[in-house]
Amino acid sequence: MWTETESPIGPLRLVERDGALSAVEFSPYPEAGAPDPGERGDDHPVLVEAARQLAAYFNGELRDFDLPLAPVGSDFQQRVWAQLRTIGYGETASYGEVARALGMTHAASRAVGLANGRNPIPVVIPCHRVIGANGTLTGYAGGLERKQVLLGIEQDGLF
């Protein structure tokens, strides 16, 4: 099931599978090759709660999401996404720092970046908090403008 919610970074499609949030998609939504999100279910409890928590996050009232999550990915991707959830609100980490936290060398930064870019639940799993080693904003599946807005919300309370 899925629903749509408005946000400062554009409409978001929230997708639920088996009682857990499985995707947060940026508009324009994926079509070709993407899993079918199923039927629209605006009143599904997981989707209602996800929309509520996202609204609170965007309003600066929520720092930590408390939702059942079910991102689909490889074991390595799952490890990276779990590590992303340890980066605190308003904090950032480089790809190399994430790799080292996973017990890998800095050389694994590229693999971490690829896994980061495939995160199916952005915002909730905070892939926007990963930046370049020199502090620059680097790639973001939703676009650098969205990444900048998300970091601004957390660091400055500004949109």
Positions annotated as catalytic residues are 127
Length of the chain: 159
d(CA 12, CA 23): 10
Token pair 């279910």: residue: 41
SS3 string, 16-55, reads EECCEEEEEEECCCCCCCCCCCCCECCCCHHHHHHHHHHH
76: left (phi over 0), alpha (psi -120 to 50) or beta: alpha
The Cα–Cα gap between 130 and 138 comes to: 8
